[in-house]
Amino acid sequence: MKIQSIILIGAAIGAMTLSGYQINKKDKLMNQETVQDKAVATFGAGCFWCVEAVFQRLNGVTKVESGYMGGTTKNPSYKEVCTGLTGHVEVCQITYNPQKISYEELLEVFWKTHDPTTLNRQGNDVGTQYRSVVFYHDNNQKALAEKYKAELNSAGIFNAPIVTAIEPSQTFYKAEDYHQDYFNLNGTQPYCQMVVRPKVEKFEKVFKDKLAKKNQ
């Protein structure tokens, strides 16, 4: 009886362990899928109101946050960044689903929706805070950005050499709340009408096949 009891208890423990392993394995696979569904890209391409409005409209992009990166001051304010003395760049941090849109496609949109040949300037927005930059989050992003930049320069797509910097990502400081979703909430504001809207409309024509359904 004792031997049979030990065998039965052992079998029960084994079943529990196996069951637990299967559940943990399933949870692990689910976590991997969640990670695969999310990736982050960070770009500086002039005023972040323009950059945000463009990338928000892409299919596969789940979140766009405006903020600051690349400087030395901790928790900088918009007023401080605008002085050009903190070293920060106005950037957009983009969360996207790699299964729906690739990093290469994001790079294509990035380089085709601003002028990457003007140093520290986009139109009338002048200063180091408006410089063209790709902040990469891993070596793969770095390699893809460098390759794409080299190909654009070799093909002579632009009338001047690309000055876009390719740098490792640093601490991202989210901008003040009133900067978030700016164009969608302030579309009638003069800057939005004169600068942001024309850029968005041009983007929607060029990248019509990449728009999220709600923007088509």
Bridge-partner residues for 122, per DSSP? Answer: 125
Rounded-to-integer distance, Cα 132 and Cα 166, Å:
9
> What angle is formed at CA 57 by the lines to CA 42 and CA 147, rounded to 5 degrees?
40
H or E stretch covering 43 = strand 39-45
* 42 bridge partner residues: 93, 135
Is the distance from CB of 176 to CB of 78 less than 8 angstroms?
yes
CB 77 within 8 A of CB 107: no
Tokens (6 digits) for 63: 């979140």
Q: Which of 75, 56, 81 is nearest to 181 (CA)?
A: 56
Residue 47 appears among annotated catalytic residues = yes
Catalytic residue among 47, 50, 92, 192: 47
* Terminal Cα-to-Cα distance of the chain (whole angstroms): 73
Nearest to 89 by CA among 53, 51, 127: 127
Determine the residue type at 159: N
- Both tokens of 180, joined, read 């978030």
Q: Which residues are catalytic?
A: 47
